[in-house]
Structure 1
Amino acid sequence: MHILITGATGLIGRHLCPELNKEHQLTVLTRNPANATKLLGENINATDSLEEVDFNNLDCVINLAGEPIVNKRWSEKQKQILRDSRITITQQISAAINQCDTPPHTFISGSAVGFYGRQSTTVIDESFVDVTPEFSHQLCHDWEQAALQAESINTRVCLLRTGIVLANNGGALAKMLPPFKLALGGPIADGQQGMSWIHIEDMINLIIHIINNVQLSGAINMTAPTPVSNSEFSQSLGKVLNRPAKITMPAWVLKLVMGEMADLLLYGQYVQPTKALESSYCFRYKTLDTALTNLLK
């Protein structure tokens, strides 16, 4: 297949491209084609212009582009950057697909479990609709709606509601490790907020599974089947690192430092990947202990 990927140099893209490139022809949309070629390999076709891509010759589009959500404090300006970096490119892709005579059969587009907003300790899945209408939900909702504009009898749209992606060379885990290695880690606030996570290997394999299983469409939770509380996550990480994890981060400190963005850490969701499981995807890393052990030992 000929696959277009945006966000190819991000955490997920860097792991996904080498796997897809074993069997498929890849075009990546990037702001820096030279850097993308250096990072992803010479046999990747890198371009900095969507107008140079002939969507009639694509079989699949994977849209992973987006400003990292925790890079900067959420000022109104930063919120707009987060929206523009996701929604604008998604709208452009949907428009290009709609103009095709022979459109790609699959459009896989990013989203996040933040779609559900803050939730209680009840486990939820893709059928859950009682969402909390806050910024993370509105961002994901508008992002998904932009992708769904491409849906037709010829093109299925799959929305990746992704949890915390665990990898050993970047992402959330890299930000967590320094204090935990210094025995300064521990739960945030009361530690009962849900943390829905996925090992990078399962993230990549599940995307490939979605490409190959045409019955899958719409929102798909990209999380392991065993979400944990923040307290459980802290204890598991401390155990794998052989460090105590007992220093609690008070909510007020986090809010002072991070502002509204602290909500991502103070509140969470316990998310179940029902669609993945019902489509017979077999998670390699079902428990947090096995995932962290694999990555850190």
Structure 2
Amino acid sequence: MRIVVAGASGFLGQPLIAHLRSAGHQVTQLVRREPERPGQVRWDPTKPIRLPDETGAVVNLCGAGVGDHRWSTAYKELIYSSRIVPTTTLATAVREQDVPLLVNASGVAAYGDRGDEVLTDDSATVTGDFLADLSVDWEGAAMTAAPARVAILRTGLPLHRSGGLLKPLLLAFKLGVGGKLGSGRQWLPWISRTDWLRAIGHIIATQELAGPVNLAGPEAATNAEFTTTLGGLLHRPTIMPIPEFGVRLLVGEFANEAFKSTRMVPEALRRTGFDFEHRTIREGLTAALHD
């Protein structure tokens, strides 16, 4: 299949391109600069795009990092526009060119802070804070690709030592200052990068997967379980909890997200026969540290 991938410059996107090509797909990467290698095509997300003929799927991972900077008004506008604008452009192209499938990134913020409630792919979303409102608008922009099949990736914490939240956490733990956040009772959805890559291939191949798809490991973990497991694997202490005010001093408003509880389960993946390689947080973190 010919697959177009946008927003693939990060620690998920580049391995995804390699994974799809290894599965026999012909992949075109959309880039905003001059192409540097075969298979890349320059685009401007603010302008209409003509997708390659016979495109069978578009995977959209576009979006500025939510934890990369403190949330000034200007940066929040960038977080929003860097998702909504390219998603709208790609959804329009998918609809007008009769492309069968759009796979579009989203996040767990759509569920909000839900305590111990078990959240499936069909659970209601919330509004009322920045990331929740963004997620609703982002997913709405993707759904304008209909009548194409649209799969929404509600991705938990992707685990790999090379990027995402785990990379800076590793430094903190190695320095001996890693600890649970607050009480540690909040649920932390996670998925190994290996299973995330495999899940994208599964979604592309599985016609019945449409709408929100929870990308999370099958055995949920609390923040305390995550912390204890990571500390054990690194042979570092995890004694001192990190209070919310301390995280807020470091990252500002984004600290709110770190203390939310999202007990998300991958019901749609399970229902369609997806087999996780890493089922527990210990397996996921072990793979993240050594793969």
Tell me the TM-score normalized by structure 1: 0.92
Match of 1:159 among 152, 161, 175: 152
The residue matched to 1:59 in structure 2 has which SS?
strand
In the superposition, relative to structure 1, how do residues 33 and 167 fare at CA in structure 2: closer, same or farther (>3 Å)?
farther
The residue matched to 1:161 in structure 2 has which SS?
strand
The residue matched to 1:276 in structure 2 has which SS?
helix
- How many residues are treated as equivalent by the alignment? 287
The residue matched to 2:165 in structure 1 has which SS?
helix
Q: Which residue of 1 aligns with 2:5?
A: 5
Q: Does 1:218 align with 2:180?
A: no
Letter in 2 for 1:21: R
Alignment of 1:1-297 (within 5 A): 1-22=1-22, 23-35=24-36, 37=37, 42=38, 44-49=39-44, 51=48, 53-54=50-51, 56-100=53-97, 103-129=98-124, 131=126, 133-152=128-147, 155-297=148-290
Partner Cα distance (1:33, 1:194) in 2: 42
Partner Cα distance (2:212, 2:34) in 1: 31
Which is helix-richer, 1 or 2?
1
Identity score, percent: 31
Contiguous gaps of at least 5 residues in structure 2 = none
The residue matched to 1:29 in structure 2 has which SS?
strand
The residue matched to 2:12 in structure 1 has which SS?
helix
Contiguous gaps of at least 5 residues in structure 1 = none
* Shift of residue 33, structure 1, vs aligned partner: 4.1
The residue matched to 2:185 in structure 1 has which SS?
coil
In the superposition, relative to structure 1, how do residues 52 and 134 fare at CA in structure 2: closer, same or farther (>3 Å)?
closer
Letter in 2 for 1:281: F
* Shift of residue 186, structure 1, vs aligned partner: 0.6
Letter in 1 for 2:215: M
Per-residue CA distance 1:103-128 (angstroms, 9 max, x = gap): 11111000011111112122211121
RMSD, aligned CA: 1.5
Per-residue CA distance 1:177-212 (angstroms, 9 max, x = gap): 011012211111111111100000000000000000
Partner Cα distance (2:71, 2:123) in 1: 27
2:176–2:238 contact (8 Å) kept in structure 1: yes
